[in-house]
Protein backbone atom coordinates (compact mmCIF):
# COMPACT_ATOMS: atom_id res chain seq x y z
CA UNK A 1 0.00 0.00 0.00
CA UNK A 2 1.45 3.38 -1.00
CA UNK A 3 1.58 5.44 2.15
CA UNK A 4 -0.35 8.69 2.56
CA UNK A 5 -1.41 10.59 5.70
CA UNK A 6 -5.10 9.80 5.10
CA UNK A 7 -4.37 6.13 4.56
CA UNK A 8 -2.28 6.04 7.72
CA UNK A 9 -5.12 7.58 9.69
CA UNK A 10 -7.48 5.01 8.17
CA UNK A 11 -5.12 2.16 9.00
CA UNK A 12 -4.88 3.31 12.62
CA UNK A 13 -8.68 3.61 12.88
CA UNK A 14 -9.27 0.22 11.26
CA UNK A 15 -6.95 -1.38 13.79
CA UNK A 16 -8.48 0.52 16.74
CA UNK A 17 -5.02 1.73 17.62
CA UNK A 18 -4.69 3.79 20.81
CA UNK A 19 -1.55 5.88 21.11
CA UNK A 20 0.62 5.19 24.16
CA UNK A 21 2.09 8.33 25.63
CA UNK A 22 4.62 6.35 27.68
CA UNK A 23 6.21 5.12 24.42
CA UNK A 24 6.31 8.62 22.96
CA UNK A 25 3.86 7.68 20.21
CA UNK A 26 3.40 10.74 18.03
CA UNK A 27 3.35 9.62 14.40
CA UNK A 28 4.33 11.87 11.48
CA UNK A 29 1.42 12.44 9.12
CA UNK A 30 3.03 14.91 6.71
CA UNK A 31 4.65 13.41 3.65
CA UNK A 32 6.74 16.53 2.97
CA UNK A 33 8.50 16.18 6.31
CA UNK A 34 9.24 12.52 5.66
CA UNK A 35 10.64 13.38 2.23
CA UNK A 36 12.74 16.19 3.73
CA UNK A 37 14.21 13.88 6.41
CA UNK A 38 15.15 11.32 3.78
CA UNK A 39 16.56 13.90 1.37
CA UNK A 40 18.63 15.72 4.03
CA UNK A 41 19.94 12.46 5.48
CA UNK A 42 21.33 11.56 2.03
CA UNK A 43 20.29 7.91 2.15
CA UNK A 44 21.04 5.91 -0.97
CA UNK A 45 21.15 2.37 -2.34
CA UNK A 46 24.45 1.67 -0.53
CA UNK A 47 22.93 2.48 2.86
CA UNK A 48 21.73 0.09 5.53
CA UNK A 49 19.30 2.02 7.70
CA UNK A 50 18.39 1.06 11.22
CA UNK A 51 15.12 2.71 12.15
CA UNK A 52 14.28 2.84 15.83
CA UNK A 53 10.54 3.02 16.49
CA UNK A 54 8.85 2.78 13.05
CA UNK A 55 5.41 3.38 14.61
CA UNK A 56 2.90 2.85 11.80
CA UNK A 57 5.69 2.75 9.24
CA UNK A 58 5.23 6.05 7.43
CA UNK A 59 8.93 6.87 7.42
CA UNK A 60 9.85 3.20 7.04
CA UNK A 61 7.89 2.97 3.78
CA UNK A 62 9.95 5.72 2.16
CA UNK A 63 13.16 4.33 3.63
CA UNK A 64 12.34 1.02 1.97
CA UNK A 65 12.14 2.81 -1.38
CA UNK A 66 15.50 4.59 -1.16
CA UNK A 67 17.78 2.47 1.05
CA UNK A 68 19.55 -0.76 0.31
CA UNK A 69 18.15 -2.37 3.43
CA UNK A 70 16.09 -1.28 6.42
CA UNK A 71 16.00 -2.94 9.85
CA UNK A 72 13.22 -1.43 11.95
CA UNK A 73 12.99 -2.08 15.69
CA UNK A 74 9.58 -1.51 17.28
CA UNK A 75 8.85 -2.18 20.95
CA UNK A 76 5.04 -2.11 20.61
CA UNK A 77 3.73 -5.45 19.31
CA UNK A 78 0.24 -3.93 18.85
CA UNK A 79 1.70 -2.41 15.68
CA UNK A 80 2.42 -5.81 14.09
CA UNK A 81 -0.66 -5.93 11.81
CA UNK A 82 -0.36 -2.31 10.77
CA UNK A 83 3.34 -2.63 9.94
CA UNK A 84 2.84 -5.88 8.06
CA UNK A 85 0.03 -4.36 5.99
CA UNK A 86 2.01 -1.21 5.31
CA UNK A 87 5.41 -2.75 4.58
CA UNK A 88 4.65 -6.27 3.41
CA UNK A 89 5.49 -5.27 -0.17
CA UNK A 90 9.19 -4.70 0.61
CA UNK A 91 11.75 -7.49 0.62
CA UNK A 92 14.45 -5.11 1.91
CA UNK A 93 12.61 -4.14 5.13
CA UNK A 94 12.96 -6.33 8.23
CA UNK A 95 10.84 -5.46 11.23
CA UNK A 96 11.96 -6.68 14.61
CA UNK A 97 9.60 -6.36 17.57
CA UNK A 98 12.00 -5.73 20.42
CA UNK A 99 13.20 -3.00 22.73
CA UNK A 100 16.05 -1.52 20.71
CA UNK A 101 18.10 -0.87 23.83
CA UNK A 102 18.18 -4.61 24.59
CA UNK A 103 19.05 -6.03 21.17
CA UNK A 104 22.36 -7.58 20.21
CA UNK A 105 23.12 -5.26 17.32
CA UNK A 106 26.62 -6.51 16.58
CA UNK A 107 25.49 -10.04 15.75
CA UNK A 108 22.44 -8.81 13.78
CA UNK A 109 24.60 -6.54 11.64
CA UNK A 110 26.92 -9.43 10.74
CA UNK A 111 24.06 -10.89 8.68
CA UNK A 112 23.93 -7.89 6.33
CA UNK A 113 26.22 -6.51 3.63
CA UNK A 114 26.39 -2.72 3.30
CA UNK A 115 28.70 0.21 2.63
CA UNK A 116 27.22 2.76 5.01
CA UNK A 117 25.29 2.39 8.24
CA UNK A 118 22.76 5.07 9.18
CA UNK A 119 20.39 5.21 12.11
CA UNK A 120 17.13 7.11 11.84
CA UNK A 121 14.76 7.66 14.71
CA UNK A 122 11.87 9.83 15.78
CA UNK A 123 11.96 9.26 19.49
CA UNK A 124 10.91 10.27 22.95
CA UNK A 125 13.72 12.35 24.51
CA UNK A 126 14.47 9.89 27.34
CA UNK A 127 15.62 7.21 24.94
CA UNK A 128 17.67 9.35 22.55
CA UNK A 129 20.88 9.57 24.58
CA UNK A 130 20.83 5.85 25.54
CA UNK A 131 20.49 4.96 21.85
CA UNK A 132 23.48 7.06 20.85
CA UNK A 133 25.44 5.67 23.80
CA UNK A 134 24.58 2.12 22.69
CA UNK A 135 26.46 2.68 19.43
CA UNK A 136 29.44 4.22 21.22
CA UNK A 137 29.63 1.60 23.99
CA UNK A 138 29.14 -1.38 21.67
CA UNK A 139 31.74 0.17 19.37
CA UNK A 140 29.52 -0.06 16.28
CA UNK A 141 30.89 1.77 13.29
CA UNK A 142 27.89 3.98 12.47
CA UNK A 143 28.31 6.67 9.81
CA UNK A 144 25.38 8.81 10.80
CA UNK A 145 22.63 8.99 13.41
CA UNK A 146 19.64 11.14 12.49
CA UNK A 147 17.19 11.83 15.29
CA UNK A 148 14.03 13.85 15.58
CA UNK A 149 13.62 15.19 19.10
CA UNK A 150 11.80 17.95 20.95
CA UNK A 151 13.35 21.28 20.05
CA UNK A 152 14.88 22.02 23.46
CA UNK A 153 16.44 18.56 23.67
CA UNK A 154 17.99 19.08 20.25
CA UNK A 155 19.36 22.45 21.30
CA UNK A 156 21.06 20.76 24.25
CA UNK A 157 22.76 18.26 21.95
CA UNK A 158 24.14 21.08 19.80
CA UNK A 159 25.32 23.16 22.79
CA UNK A 160 28.46 25.19 22.13
CA UNK A 161 31.27 26.01 24.57
CA UNK A 162 30.33 28.74 27.05
CA UNK A 163 26.55 28.18 26.89
CA UNK A 164 24.46 26.87 29.79
CA UNK A 165 23.66 23.61 27.99
CA UNK A 166 27.32 22.74 27.37
CA UNK A 167 28.16 19.76 29.58
CA UNK A 168 30.19 16.57 29.71
CA UNK A 169 27.74 14.83 27.33
CA UNK A 170 28.20 17.63 24.75
CA UNK A 171 31.96 17.02 24.79
CA UNK A 172 31.58 13.27 24.76
CA UNK A 173 29.28 13.42 21.72
CA UNK A 174 31.44 16.04 20.04
CA UNK A 175 34.45 13.81 20.28
CA UNK A 176 32.74 11.16 18.14
CA UNK A 177 30.37 13.20 15.99
CA UNK A 178 29.88 16.42 14.09
CA UNK A 179 26.42 17.58 15.18
CA UNK A 180 24.20 19.57 12.80
CA UNK A 181 20.59 20.63 12.64
CA UNK A 182 18.88 19.33 9.49
CA UNK A 183 15.32 20.55 9.87
CA UNK A 184 12.76 22.33 12.04
CA UNK A 185 9.54 20.40 12.41
CA UNK A 186 6.25 21.90 13.54
CA UNK A 187 4.18 20.05 16.15
CA UNK A 188 1.28 20.18 13.66
CA UNK A 189 2.68 17.36 11.54
CA UNK A 190 2.17 14.73 14.25
CA UNK A 191 -0.72 12.58 15.28
CA UNK A 192 -1.56 13.11 18.13
CA UNK A 193 -0.20 16.65 18.23
CA UNK A 194 2.51 17.06 20.91
CA UNK A 195 2.87 20.22 23.04
CA UNK A 196 6.18 21.33 21.51
CA UNK A 197 7.91 21.63 18.12
CA UNK A 198 10.72 19.27 17.14
CA UNK A 199 13.99 19.43 15.27
CA UNK A 200 15.88 16.85 13.28
CA UNK A 201 19.59 16.66 14.04
CA UNK A 202 22.33 14.53 12.62
CA UNK A 203 25.33 13.04 14.40
CA UNK A 204 27.90 12.44 11.68
CA UNK A 205 30.92 10.34 12.56
CA UNK A 206 34.05 12.51 12.52
CA UNK A 207 36.51 11.51 9.84
CA UNK A 208 39.43 12.66 11.93
CA UNK A 209 39.13 12.50 15.68
CA UNK A 210 41.20 14.43 18.21
CA UNK A 211 44.50 12.75 19.04
CA UNK A 212 44.30 11.31 22.55
CA UNK A 213 47.06 9.49 24.38
CA UNK A 214 44.62 8.04 26.89
CA UNK A 215 40.93 8.09 25.97
CA UNK A 216 39.80 6.81 29.37
CA UNK A 217 41.64 9.63 31.13
CA UNK A 218 40.16 12.19 28.69
CA UNK A 219 36.59 11.11 29.47
CA UNK A 220 37.25 10.88 33.23
CA UNK A 221 38.78 14.37 33.23
CA UNK A 222 35.73 15.78 31.47
CA UNK A 223 33.31 14.08 33.85
CA UNK A 224 35.25 15.31 36.88
CA UNK A 225 35.56 18.85 35.49
CA UNK A 226 31.76 19.14 35.29
CA UNK A 227 31.17 17.40 38.66
CA UNK A 228 29.86 20.61 40.21
CA UNK A 229 28.99 22.87 37.34
CA UNK A 230 29.19 26.19 39.17
CA UNK A 231 32.59 25.38 40.71
CA UNK A 232 35.96 26.24 39.20
CA UNK A 233 38.32 23.68 37.66
CA UNK A 234 40.54 24.09 40.73
CA UNK A 235 37.70 22.86 42.94
CA UNK A 236 36.51 20.05 40.70
CA UNK A 237 39.97 18.72 39.87
CA UNK A 238 41.51 18.63 43.36
CA UNK A 239 42.63 15.02 42.89
CA UNK A 240 44.71 15.82 39.78
CA UNK A 241 48.16 17.33 39.36
CA UNK A 242 46.95 20.95 39.51
CA UNK A 243 50.29 22.52 38.61
CA UNK A 244 50.39 20.52 35.38
CA UNK A 245 46.79 21.47 34.64
CA UNK A 246 47.51 25.14 35.30
CA UNK A 247 50.45 25.10 32.90
CA UNK A 248 48.33 23.70 30.07
CA UNK A 249 45.42 26.04 30.80
CA UNK A 250 47.72 29.07 30.70
CA UNK A 251 48.96 28.00 27.28
CA UNK A 252 45.34 28.33 26.04
CA UNK A 253 44.56 31.57 27.97
CA UNK A 254 42.49 29.86 30.68
CA UNK A 255 43.22 29.45 34.39
CA UNK A 256 42.34 27.24 37.35
CA UNK A 257 39.54 29.71 38.15
CA UNK A 258 37.90 28.95 34.79
CA UNK A 259 34.79 26.78 34.79
CA UNK A 260 34.44 23.60 32.73
CA UNK A 261 31.69 25.09 30.55
CA UNK A 262 34.22 27.66 29.22
CA UNK A 263 36.71 25.05 28.06
CA UNK A 264 36.66 23.86 24.42
CA UNK A 265 37.09 20.17 23.61
CA UNK A 266 40.59 20.71 22.13
CA UNK A 267 41.79 22.16 25.44
CA UNK A 268 40.38 19.18 27.35
CA UNK A 269 42.30 16.94 24.93
CA UNK A 270 45.52 18.90 25.58
CA UNK A 271 44.93 18.69 29.34
CA UNK A 272 44.41 14.93 29.23
CA UNK A 273 47.42 14.43 26.93
CA UNK A 274 49.71 16.54 29.16
CA UNK A 275 48.47 14.70 32.26
CA UNK A 276 49.23 11.32 30.76
CA UNK A 277 52.87 12.23 30.02
N1 LIG B 1 8.72 6.61 13.29
C2 LIG B 1 7.31 6.85 13.48
C3 LIG B 1 6.96 8.18 12.91
O4 LIG B 1 7.87 9.00 12.80
O5 LIG B 1 5.79 8.42 12.62
C6 LIG B 1 6.88 6.73 14.94
C7 LIG B 1 7.62 7.63 15.91
S8 LIG B 1 7.01 7.59 17.55
C9 LIG B 1 7.54 9.21 18.08
C10 LIG B 1 8.18 6.59 18.45
C11 LIG B 1 8.06 5.08 18.23
O12 LIG B 1 9.13 4.45 18.95
C13 LIG B 1 6.77 4.46 18.73
O14 LIG B 1 6.21 3.64 17.74
C15 LIG B 1 7.21 3.65 19.97
O16 LIG B 1 6.38 2.52 20.18
C17 LIG B 1 8.63 3.27 19.58
N18 LIG B 1 9.54 3.00 20.70
C19 LIG B 1 9.61 3.62 21.90
N20 LIG B 1 10.58 3.10 22.65
C21 LIG B 1 11.18 2.12 21.91
C22 LIG B 1 12.27 1.20 22.12
N23 LIG B 1 12.93 1.20 23.27
N24 LIG B 1 12.60 0.34 21.13
C25 LIG B 1 11.92 0.34 19.96
N26 LIG B 1 10.88 1.17 19.70
C27 LIG B 1 10.52 2.05 20.65
Question: Is 210 part of a structural domain of the chain?
Answer: no
Q: Supply the mean pLDDT for the chain.
A: 93
Together in a domain, 157 and 270: no
Output the pLDDT for position 159.
87
Domain termination site, one of 180, 205, 230: 205
Pocket of ligand 1 (CB under 6 A): 23-28, 52-55, 58-59, 73-76, 99-101, 122-123, 127
Whether 172 and 200 map to the same domain: the answer is: yes
Can you list the positions of beta strands (E) in the chain?
27-28, 47-52, 69-73, 93-96, 116-122, 144-150, 177-185, 190-191, 198-205
Q: Is the pLDDT of residue 271 over 90?
A: yes
Q: Is residue 270 part of a domain?
A: yes
Cβ atoms of 124 and 101 within 8 Å: the answer is: no
Q: How far is CA 232 from CA 77, 99, 170, 178, in A?
A: 49, 41, 19, 28
Query: Is there a single domain that holds both residue 123 and residue 256?
Result: no
Protein residue with least CA distance to atom 1, ligand 1: 54
pLDDT of residue 157: 86
Range 151-163 average pLDDT: 87
Query: Environment class of residue 241 by beta-carbon count within 10 Å: exposed (0-12), middle (13-18) or buried (19+)?
Result: exposed
**Per residue in 241-252, pLDDT tens?**
999 999 999 999
192 with 234, same domain: the answer is no
Q: Is the pTM of this model over 0.85?
A: yes
Q: Is there a domain that residue 130 lies in?
A: yes
Ligand 1 atom closest to the CA of 28, numbered from 1: 5
Q: How many domains does the chain have?
A: 2
Domain containing 245 equals 215-276
Same domain as 248, residue 184: no
Which atom of ligand 1 sits closest to the CA of residue 25?
Answer: 8
In terms of domains, do 220 and 127 share one?
A: no
Tally of helices (H runs) and strands (E runs) in the chain:
12, 9
Q: Please identify, among 205, 231, 262, the residue that sits at the C-terminal boundary of a domain.
A: 205
Residue-wise pLDDT for 169-227, tens only, equals 889 899 999 999 999 999 999 989 999 999 999 999 998 989 999 999 999 999 999 99
What is the CATH classification number for the domain harbouring 239? Answer: 1.10.8.100
Is residue 41 a contact partner of residue 11, using CB atoms and an 8 Å limit? no
Q: Over 90: is that where the pLDDT of 229 sits? A: no
Q: Are residues 16 and 77 in the same domain?
A: yes
For residues 235 and 107, membership in a common domain is answered with no
- In this structure, are 148 and 240 located in the same domain? no
Q: What is the rounded CA–CA span in Å between residue 247 and residue 199? A: 41
Residue of 20, 38, 75, 82 best suited for mutating to test ligand 1, as the one with most atoms within 8 Å of CB: 75
The enclosing domain of 115 has a CATH number of: 3.40.50.150
Together in a domain, 244 and 201? no
Q: Is the model's pLDDT at 16 over the cut of 70?
A: yes
How far apart are the C-alpha atoms of 84 and 74, rounded to whole Å?
12
Amino acid sequence: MEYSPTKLQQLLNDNNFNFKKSLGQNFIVDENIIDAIIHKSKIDKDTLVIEVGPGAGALTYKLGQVAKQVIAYEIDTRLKDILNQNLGCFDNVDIIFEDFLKVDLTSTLKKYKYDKLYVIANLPYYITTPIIMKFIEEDIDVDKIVVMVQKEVGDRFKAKTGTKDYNSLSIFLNYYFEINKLLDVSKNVFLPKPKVDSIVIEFKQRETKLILKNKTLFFKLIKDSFKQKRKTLKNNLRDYDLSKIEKTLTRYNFSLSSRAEQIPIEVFAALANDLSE
